[in-house]
Amino acid sequence: ETGVTQSPTHLIKTRGQQVTLRCSSQSGHNTVSWYQQALGQGPQFIFQYYREEENGRGNFPPRFSGLQFPNYSSELNVNALELDDSALYLCASSPVFRGDTQYFGPGTRLTVL
Amino acid sequence: KQEVTQIPAALSVPEGENLVLNCSFTDSAIYNLQWFRQDPGKGLTSLLLIQSSQREQTSGRLNASLDKSSGRSTLYIAASQPGDSATYLCAVCSNDYKLSFGAGTTVTVRA
């Protein structure tokens, strides 16, 4: 157990809809990162938040957005869902020092029909 | 852009055999390198983290080496067990603290 939780576990949406995924980090972890993992591939970096501000972004369009809250929780929002957004979405938190070991949650499996 | 490659994509061995998993990366300016384990449909579990200044790291039956100049890391798992069956992912942390992952090596240990 890493102490990182994600909700919901599974989600089914239709193309064009919007979705919000949630993550609760370990207490004291000021950095949270979100990843998208398509079937059979490694996770792809979406963005990272450090002390509630975006601290870097991967090659994802603006319809992927996020928030980090003072209580160590965070959200990933995806607008105008596309079929290719179907994937496992992982969040990972790190202690105060960036670049340290990342602790991953179990993920949310999103299916877009 | 950092590119991470893992070879082989899949591996099947009898119980007790040693495992050797390879990872290569294109940009040697890294902060650290991490090895993760992923069980089907689950999140990632950190196995080992090697800082850029280190050559290897050990934890129990696991040993990981890092050759930054040649852009390679190897994960060794001694005396494999059926419980070691999983996908193993290599991730390179760049100097901006972002992780780039390989596609993984799926290991099956036959009893």
Band (A43; pLDDT cuts 50, 70, 90)? very high
Q: Is A31 within 8 Å of A99 (Cβ atoms)?
A: no
Band (A28; pLDDT cuts 50, 70, 90)? confident
A2 pLDDT higher than 80: no
Q: What is the pLDDT of residue A98?
A: 62
**Given CB atoms, is A98 within the 8 Å cutoff of chain B?**
yes
User: Within 13 A of B39's CA, how many CA atoms are on the CB side?
Assistant: 8
**Given CB atoms, is A68 within the 8 Å cutoff of chain B?**
no
Determine the residue among B49, B99, B100 to mutate to test chain A binding: the one whose Cβ has the most chain A Cβ atoms within 10 Å: B99
CA of A71, closest CA in chain B: separation in Å? 22
**Given CB atoms, is B76 within the 8 Å cutoff of chain A?**
no
A96 pLDDT higher than 80: no
Per-chain mean pLDDT for chain A = 92
Q: What is the pLDDT of residue A1?
A: 65
Average of per-residue pLDDT across A24-49: 92
User: Which parts of chain B have pLDDT scores under 70?
Assistant: none
Verify whether the Cβ–Cβ distance A42 to B46 is below 8 Å. no
Contacts of B64 (CB under 8 A, 6+ apart): B33, B35, B47, B48, B50, B56, B57, B58, B73, B74, B75, B76
Determine the residue among A102, A103, A109 to mutate to test chain B binding: the one whose Cβ has the most chain B Cβ atoms within 10 Å: A102
